[in-house]
Structure 1
Amino acid sequence: MSWQQGQIGYALAPMVARGVMLGPDQPIILHLLDIQPAAEVLNAVKMELIDAAFPLLQGVIATTDVVEACMGVNIAIMVGGFPRKEGMERKDVMSKNVEIYKAQASALEKHAVENCKVLVVANPANTNALILKEFAPSIPEKNITCLTRLDHNRALAQISERLDVPVGDVKNVIIWGNHSSTQYPDVNHATVTTGSGEKSVRQLVADDQWLNNEFITTVQQRGAAIIKARKLSSALSAASAACDHVHDWVLGTPKGTWVSMGVYSDGSYGIQPGLIYSFPVTCEKGEWSIVKGLKIEEFSRKKMDATAKELMDEKSFAYSCLK
């Protein structure tokens, strides 16, 4: 397994080594990548991982060489990139990350295992994943995904707090579209397990004004709120969501439950093919499948189309940076 180091990487490493991502019986070899100025810090992280004596951890390769980092990996978590800072526009971040992802994609293409699974976390995650695919053409489309599980988890948590129920009792929210402020957190198909069975979130909240406005805005803006409060972007929650994403992708989702993943659109729900767009998915035997046939009313349609338009604009901008 390989990823770039940094804030999220530091939070993620012990979670993976402890078996949170791939289960309690899966031995792990970690490949940690960082830039040359951070080499000393990276080596210190390796020392900490060794000192923690994780039973599943079979080895740690800490390197500033992207080829060494990608050599033979079967899961790559791309958490590195130029960080978004307070006041920065997404396009500022995107232009800096295009070249980073072009280089890292080439290394994965040449040196990772043939069926390597890739999760892109660094923002703009959907578009970074598109760039990665462009320069790693032999990696199957279905093996390149981006993280919207963080937004999915945020939506679950907001409903849990509103209804004062355990977050584990809430399921099947959906994040449609981009991991950005245009994403659409949708509760129209979400349910809560109660003593008398499953009930719809909309029925239990009984406040469409809140669900159609404040709830959506809170989830959309949560990352910005954390940057404002912490002066750094989300790390702990992003690392946890990355574990959730890969865990469910590899080991499967519970029956009757779906999760949100940024995946290649196949035209489902009228979303243009070729975009990496967040859909509700189920996972089985290491493969994800988009949940089909959900009813989409007019309010949702407009929100879904708006975030798709942003992704098309981002794609055009990113590809212009490659010229």
Structure 2
Amino acid sequence: MATKQPIRVAVTGAAGNIGYAVLFRIASGEMLGPDQPVILQLLEIPAEGPQKALKGVGMELEDCAFPLLADMVLTDDPKIAFRDAAWCLLVGSKPRGPGMERADLLKDNGKIFVAQGQAIDEVAADNARIAVVGNPCNTNCMIAASQAKRLPKDRFTAMVRLDQNRGQALLARKARVPVEEVSELFIYGNHSPTMFADFTHARIGGKPAAEVIGDRAWLESEYLPTVGKRGAAVIEARGQSSAASAANALIDHVRDLATPGRLHAVAVNSHGRYGFAEGIWAGMPVRSTADGYEVVTSYQMDDFAKSKIKITNDELVSERDTVKEMLGAQ
């Protein structure tokens, strides 16, 4: 049997907590399959500490002797990291510091994603697909995509899969069923506390989730804010932001995008669907295809769902307005 050609996977922030949690799973075949060799192209900022840590991560990857890890590139140069990459996983971003305004965070990260978007468009593979994890991921993705002239903007996606996974797990726990019993739970809007985990179309064991749960008040007033604020709850409990669960969600995000027929939530170019403004990146249901994905537009929203989508849309529009001077030709 002919051996598959290795796929080049670029990962930014590769020595950070999420990067460290995801790289070994990519190299083991969990993301792209047990027979797909990969070349990891790992980017860290050009400072002594992160570059030293990246070297250590590379050593550990070597020490695992993964059969699928065909090669590695460790670099501080985006044009080297993204060259010929088929998947660009943008994990690294500037975290919000004490007393930092959200607008300042948006603008600081905007500069990073302008540069990365330009480098990806210049040197990545013609079939490159981009998954943005670094927060605020929806708007960072929009900024990176705005720099693309060669690559179609719909190749740029942002991750709301962690919210989907959190929402599924919470519904399963409430219903006392295995998590695989929960289906069609999609995240709409921003990866932030405003996002809408749409329980109105979710199903548990094939039945409407709201019918199985039997407590609409709990779904509206407890379930939604619990999912939306789960990241803050993890920080409060653990003292650090979600890392292993975010890495797991990234594996799910890419694996399902690479598997035709999968139905899942992804933040994509809205194109005005589901009441979102044009030109923002918003979570919504997609079905993966052989060469990308198609947005599923058949879900009809009730007034409650529409009100929740409006809130998260307004936040995304506000973020877009904050960084509008950074956006390339849309």
Asked if Structure 1 and Structure 2 have the same fold, meaning a TM-score greater than 0.5 normalized by the shorter chain, the answer is yes
**Is 2:254 the counterpart of 1:246?**
yes
- Pairing partner for 2:235 from 211, 222, 227: 227
Q: Please state if 1:20 is matched with 2:30.
A: yes
- Residue 282 of structure 1 and its aligned partner are, at CA, apart by 1.1
2:18 to 4, 8, 11: 8
- 1:62 counterpart SS class: strand
The equivalent residue for 2:113 is 101
* RMSD (CA atoms): 1.5
DSSP-derived class of the 2:229 partner: helix
Residue in structure 2 matched with residue 207 of structure 1 by the alignment: 215
Match of 2:318 in 1: 313
Q: Give 1:152-167 correspondences, 5 Å limit.
A: 152-167=164-179
Q: Which letter maps to 1:205?
A: I
2:51 aligns with one of 39, 45, 48: 39
Superposed displacement of residue 268, structure 1: 1.9
Give SS of 2:207's match.
strand
Summarize deviations over 1:158-199 as a string: whole Å, max 9, x none.
Answer: 001111111111111111100111101111111122xxxx21
> Given the superposition, is the C-alpha separation of residues 215 and 313 from structure 1 closer, same or farther in structure 2, using an over 3 Å criterion?
same
The answer (yes or no) to whether the contact 2:114–2:326 under 8 Å persists in 1 is: no
What is the CA deviation profile of residues 255-310 of structure 1, one whole-angstrom value per residue up to 9, with x for unaligned ones?
xxx21100011222222221111111111213211112212110000110111111
Q: Is the Cα contact below 8 Å between 1:184 and 1:216 reproduced in 2?
A: yes
SS of the residue corresponding to residue 311 of structure 1 reads helix
Instruction: Give the % identical residues.
Output: 38
Structure 2 partner of 1:122: 134
**Could you tell me how far apart the structure 2 residues matched to 1:286 and 1:238 are?**
25
State the Cα distance separating 1:73 from its structure 2 match. Answer: 0.5
Change in 2 beyond 3 A, CA 1:79/1:100: same
The amino acid across from 1:246 in the alignment is V
1:101 partner letter: F
| Structure 2: distance between partners of 1:131 and 1:49 | 32
Matches within 5 A, 1:171-186: 171-186=183-198
Alpha-carbon deviations, 1:78-137, whole Å to 9, x = none? 001102356655333212101111111111111101221000001110100111011122
Report how many aligned residue pairs link the two structures. Answer: 316
User: Is the 2:147–2:327 Cα contact (8 Å) retained in structure 1?
Assistant: no
> What are the Cα deviations for residues 189-238 of structure 1, in whole angstroms up to 9, with x where unaligned?
11122xxxx21111110000110111000010011111222222111111
Matching residue of 1:68: 80
Of the three residues 256, 276, 280, the one matched with 2:281 is 276
2:146 maps to 1:134: yes
Alignment match, 1:260:
265
Between the aligned partners of 2:134 and 2:67, the Cα distance in structure 1 is 29
Of 295, 304, 307, the match for 1:299? 304
Q: Is the 8 A contact 2:160 2:267 kept in 1?
A: yes
Asked if the contact 1:35/1:64 (under 8 Å) is kept, the reply is: yes
Structure 1 residue matching 2:141: 3-state secondary structure: helix
> What secondary structure does 1:119 align onto?
strand
Q: 1:15 to 1:93 in 2, by over 3 A?
A: same
**TM-score under structure 1 normalisation?**
0.94
- Structure 2 unaligned blocks of 5 or more: 1-8
2 CA distance for matches of 1:20 and 1:89?
37
Deviation for aligned residue 1:58: 0.5
Report deviation, 1:253: 3.8
Partner of 1:110: 122
One-letter code aligned to 1:287: G
Aligned partner (choices 148, 151, 168) of residue 163 of structure 2? 151
3-state SS of 2:30 partner: coil
Amino acid at match of 1:210: W
Q: Is the 8 A contact 2:146 2:327 kept in 1?
A: no
On the 8 A contact 1:90/1:124 being kept in 2, the answer is no
Q: Determine the C-alpha separation between the residues in 1 that align with 2:26 and 2:95.
A: 23
Alpha-carbon separation, structure 1, partners of 2:140 and 2:27: 26
Which residue is equivalent to 2:4?
A: none
Secondary structure (helix, strand or coil) at the match of 2:287 reads: strand
Normalised by the length of structure 2, the TM-score is 0.92
Letter in 2 for 1:228: E
Q: Would the aligned equivalents of 1:74 and 1:115 in 2 still touch at CA under 8 Å?
A: yes
* Aligned mates of 2:213, 2:102 — CA distance in 1: 33
How far apart are the structure 1 equivalents of 2:308 and 2:127?
Answer: 34
